[in-house]
Chains A and B, each alone.
Chain A
Amino acid sequence: MVAMKDTHITMAHGGGGIAMHALIEEVFLEAFSSTGKKGVQEDQARIVLADLVAKGDRVALTTDSFVVDPLEFPGGNIGTLAVCGTINDLAVGGAQPVALSAAFIISEGFERIRLQRIVASMAETAQQAGVSIITGDTKVVPRSACDGLFITTTGIGTIQPAYHISIAAGQPKDVLLVNGTIGDHGATILCARGDLALETSLRSDCAALHGLMATVLDAVPEVHCARDATRGGLAAVLHELAEASGVCVCLEENAVPVKSDVTGLCDILGLDPLHMANEGKLVLAVPPKYAQQALAAMKAHPLGRDAAIIGQLEAAPNGKGSVHLINSLGHARLMTLPSGEPLPRIC
């Protein structure tokens, strides 16, 4: 095969000819067939409706595009992010993930061995999560049109009839929980770019959360809200919750778990861990009577060892949601969202 000898992706790999078919066969199908059944290549994946119906009364559908610099970093790569991110978007709705699609936009000149490495880790992550990657697409674009590799994944899942989790379902007195330290991913990416010349032991928290979510849902009869805190950090999720539920979110700053390396990095750069991205952090709002149960369930799971209660919801005067941060001195202040991506403050 021609493609086998190629060390780099070229425009030919997106041209619909022999090179493209070889690439799909040798890189993508080779890896992703391990996550599901091998079969005839149709233009679409087919899912048996009865299998879905048996598992729930609603289908959840979500899609997400992944761009990250650098593509590989301690704790993961763009491929593991693309699998976990979409699984997590399903999981926080109470959905059991069933299958994913994966679309790749690759710039010409991309190293084939690197692509294989990323695709292999995607397959491994999906397999571990018990989710199949059942359809996909590949495009190759000129070097100037994309810097390396972009991946879009779409996922479907099934929701059991009993689950009614919503970002708008937060109630006054609900207790807020998070499954571990925040900001690890954002801080890891900043360091992995290499221009800070800082050495840390930080790793991205990139992880599929559906197992943890299932554990919590088994243990707790009522979960009002669940979200994974990704871009924009814990702050962004809490703002979404406050606005959608029309409540005041009261966050205890000192109760939020943060690794000292993350705090240190943020102090140096004038950033706030609350705004730093995560890729494996689950934020829950549960009725106060179930808070301890939820905490215990989280702590018993490998992805929730550092879980903590971080605050609670309060009734909002005139129903207008807001987020309040209570610091170690007992002082409460309004937490606003930054206007864009937080930029390091140096001077």
Chain B
Amino acid sequence: MPHNYNREAFRDPSLVNKLFAIIEATAKRIAPTRTVPITIMEVCGGHTHTIFRYGLETRLPDLIEFAHGPGCPVCVLPRGRIEEAIAIARHPEVIFTTFGDAMRVPGEKGSLMLARAQGADVRMVYSPLDALRLAQENPNKKVVFFAIGFETTIPSTALTLLRAKALGVQNFFLLCCHITIIPTLKALLEQPDFRVDGFIAPGHVSIVIGTQPYTFIAEKFFRPVVIAGFEPVDVLSSLLMILQQIEQGKALVQNQYTRVVTERGNAKALAAIEQVYEPKLECEWRGFGKIAYSGLQLREQWHHYDAERHFRVTPSKVSDSTILQCGAVLTGRIKPQQCVAFGASCTPNTPLGALMVSSEGACAAYYQYQGIQKWSQ
């Protein structure tokens, strides 16, 4: 966290209560103009987590509904990619490194954690730089880093490759599964029945990309966008800013998370990304299918670091079960508990669908925080 800020102030109950009161008053004024509820999509899994952790949804007026967006990188990782990761990890000369997030994610036949139990050398790291260090310490091994995540993690893998090159490390590879958020939002908005009225845009991603890339959402699709921080006061303030735009008939990109997000983002991080990666023609998302230009691949001059090329991985296509309605949940058409598999065959311990996989996925959050009730204190 670049600023030493008073976190408690952003959880202050009196401030939260005030915000709820203003949101309610605003919603009352808007209500007569609406025939259907106002649906706000929080794009990022971190926001989903805050909404559930603090029970924000339960205190909102009926007029307002949240749709829980696609911004949980573990959730949208296709199962085939996990199978590819496991196939690489099983090579005897490989040390396969990953963030903890991906350890338990099930592929078709198992997870990286299971692969480790079966003998693969799978190690959890906190940074791709740790993986690079492992490569230096183990010159006779091939160290592969599972590069997943949005713009929050992309700069760190790009910078790690730049450093690997500078150090002349030859035994380090990336399994690149990075995805970017803007093409995905565009794909959502282009769907004819997409009902979302405004976006709470991701905070961490925006530290890197800035506020500017969201402009098309306001200008072309006429939806308000507010970039938000992750504390309850941040989320509620952002929601209020969206409602005020709706009330005034505006669609603007606004920045609530001013303590870390700027208009242009982080120039150095963006330059590193540009140097190492280029968009893929299309990229598969779990629960969504293929989205044009939404994934990244290594540029040609970095191909010798590409684990997929080096290990000649056969792309693995694993379809999600047809009874699941992940896509409908992701696009806000249904609530998680309206899916037939929710809580029955699909639970956090046995996730069938993408959104049950990580604690930031909408279904896992619904499941974990189900039975919400107020206690008299």
Residues of A bordering B, CB below 8 Å? 195-196, 250, 269-270, 314, 322, 324, 326-334, 336, 339-340, 343-347
Contact = CB atoms under 8 A, between A and B. Distances in A.
Given A329-B54, A331-B55, A339-B349, A346 B374 contact: no
B229 interface: no
Contact of B124 (A314, A327, A343): A343
A346 B11 contact: no
A347 B54 contact: no
Nearest to B374: A332
B100 A344 contact: yes
Given A344-B126, A346-B126, A330 B100 contact: no
Nearest to B16: A329
Contact of A347 (B73, B349, B374): B73
Contacts of B372: 331-334
Contact of A332 (B124, B358, B367, B373): B373
Contact of B13 (A270, A322, A330, A347): A330
B152 interface: yes
Nearest to B348: A339
Given A344-B99, A344-B124, A333 B55 contact: yes
B79 to A, nearest CB: 17
A331 B124 contact: no
6 contacts: A326-B377, A330-B13, A344-B100, A344-B126, A345-B360, A347-B150
A343 B100 contact: yes
Given A347-B73, A347-B74, A324 B375 contact: yes
A264 B11 CA distance: 15
B interface secondary structure, majority? loop
Contact of B368 (A195, A336, A345): A336
Interface string B17-55: 000000000000000000000000000000000001111
A331 B99 contact: no
A289 B335 CA distance: 45
A344 to B, nearest CB: 4
Nearest to A253: B53
B158 to A, nearest CB: 14
A269 B118 CA distance: 27
B232 A340 contact: no
Contact of A334 (B74, B130, B370): B370
A83 to B, nearest CB: 30
Looking at A269, A314, A330, the one whose CB has the most chain B CB atoms below 10 A away is A330
Interface string B244-286: 0000000000000000000000000000000000000000000
Contacts of B126: 195-196, 269, 344, 346
B101 A329 contact: no
Interface in B349-377: 349, 358-360, 367-375, 377
A340 B349 CA distance: 9
Interface residues of B, number: 42
In the complex, the 10 A-B pairs of residues with the closest C-beta atoms, listed nearest first: A347-B149, A331-B55, A343-B100, A346-B99, A344-B100, A334-B371, A332-B375, A339-B349, A347-B153, A333-B369
A327 B377 CA distance: 12
Contact of B375 (A250, A328, A339, A344): A250
Interface of B: 11, 13, 16, 52-55, 58-59, 73-74, 99-104, 124-126, 130, 148-150, 152-153, 232, 348-349, 358-360, 367-375, 377
B360 A346 contact: no
B104 A340 contact: yes
Contacts of B148: 347
A329 B349 CA distance: 29
Contacts of B74: 347
Contacts of B16: 329
Contacts of B358: 345
A255 to B, nearest CB: 11
Given A333-B369, A347-B102, 19 more contacts: A195-B125, A324-B375, A327-B55, A329-B16, A330-B13, A331-B54, A332-B55, A332-B372, A334-B369, A336-B348, A343-B101, A343-B103, A344-B100, A345-B359, A346-B149, A346-B153, A347-B101, A347-B150, A347-B153
Contacts of A347: 73-74, 99, 101-102, 148-150, 152-153
A328 B377 CA distance: 12
A331 B125 CA distance: 35
B11 A328 contact: yes
A243 to B, nearest CB: 15
A272 to B, nearest CB: 9
Contacts of B124: 343-344
Contacts of A250: 375
Contact of A326 (B152, B349, B370, B375): B375
B13 A329 contact: yes
B78 to A, nearest CB: 15
B354 to A, nearest CB: 15
Nearest to B125: A195
Contacts of B130: 195
A331 B375 CA distance: 8
Given A339-B348, A344-B124, A331 B58 contact: yes
A71 to B, nearest CB: 19
Contacts of A346: 99-101, 126, 149, 153
Contacts of A324: 373, 375
Contacts of B100: 343-346
A345 B149 CA distance: 11
A180 B301 CA distance: 56
Contact of B52 (A328, A333, A340): A333
A296 B374 CA distance: 30
A269 B125 CA distance: 12
A147 to B, nearest CB: 14
Nearest to B367: A336
Contacts of B73: 347
A327 B99 contact: no
A329 B348 contact: no
